[in-house]
Amino acid sequence: MVQLPAVEQSLRWPSEVLETATFGMGCFWGPEARFGGLKGIVRTRVGFAGGTTALPTYRSMGDHTETVEVDFDPKIIPYEDILRYFWRNHYPNRDEYKGRQYISLLRYHGDVQKEAIGRIKREMEIELGELIETDIGPFESFTLAEERHQKYYLKRYPGALEQLHDIFPTPEHLVNSTVAARLNGFVKGFRTRASLLEEVTEWEMSGKDNELIQKKILNMKW
């Protein structure tokens, strides 16, 4: 069971039930950071989906695709906006010259997402001026990638992680953390420190925990 950091256990979101989006858009490190920087994205994780190979791993993923899963609050960021961001930020083709590892892929969770995909796909084909060849289908399974691939860019700053050790005592605590998702986006250039601090002040959570997170972000040395 992936653990949630204690400092975030009091964090509440406007929607009573979060939704999940599953997609592939090339190497999964960059997209996790990109989406982790978006307001309304609560959790990010990378793994493998879209294929039939049992128990895929990074070195042996078979016919699966490198995939990002995000849990999001639809009252803050609608699924339609996630789809637009998805298609605007990678080349949505099905060129399989390297196999299925890096293809454009969408897996919908239910009929509402399926309908939205069809509608936004038509909109984006007009905007992009070309047909979209994303592999689209119903969600079947998602296998979490190895720990070293989660929040990859944040982990490239071991000094920063050491400063976060009291709230992330193990690497597993990074996987479901909203703070870690934002910091992973920050180090890749998708957020600023000021925008992070502004967002954290809006979070509905324990005042003590909120103050600790703000202090960490403000004083962190990279």
User: Residue 78's domain is classified under what CATH number?
Assistant: 3.30.1060.10
Asked, for residue 59, whether it belongs to a domain, the answer is: yes
Based on the domain organization, do 135 and 174 belong to the same domain? Answer: no
Q: Which residues make beta-bridge pairs with 100?
A: 98
Structurally, the chain folds into a number of domains equal to 2
Residues 6 or more apart in contact with residue 114 via CB below 8 angstroms: 108, 138
Domain of 177, in residue numbers? 150-219
Residue 163 to residue 180: CA distance in whole angstroms: 13
Based on the domain organization, do 30 and 95 belong to the same domain? Answer: yes
Based on the domain organization, do 135 and 159 belong to the same domain? Answer: no
Give the per-residue pLDDT at 221.
92
Whole-prediction pTM? 0.95
Per the residue annotation, which of 2, 4, 18, 27 is the catalytic one? 27
27 is annotated as an active-site residue: yes
All residue ranges of the chain with pLDDT < 50 are: none
Give the per-residue pLDDT at 181.
98
Give the per-residue pLDDT at 195.
97
Asked, for residue 32, whether it belongs to a domain, the answer is: yes
Give the per-residue pLDDT at 96.
63
Give the per-residue pLDDT at 36.
98
Give the per-residue pLDDT at 95.
66
Please name which of 186, 182, 198, 176 lies closest in space to residue 222, comparing C-alpha atoms.
186
Last residue of a domain, one of 105, 123, 147: 147
Q: Which residues make beta-bridge pairs with 30?
A: none
Per-residue pLDDT tens over the stretch 15-68: 989 999 999 999 999 999 999 999 999 999 999 999 999 999 999 999 999 999
Give the per-residue pLDDT at 1.
54
Based on the domain organization, do 58 and 139 belong to the same domain? Answer: yes
Asked, for residue 28, whether it belongs to a domain, the answer is: yes
Give the per-residue pLDDT at 97.
61
Please name which of 74, 87, 76 lies closest in space to residue 119, comparing C-alpha atoms.
87
Give the per-residue pLDDT at 93.
78
Distances from the Cα of 65 to the Cα of 72, 129, 197, angstroms:
21, 26, 34
Give the per-residue pLDDT at 3.
77
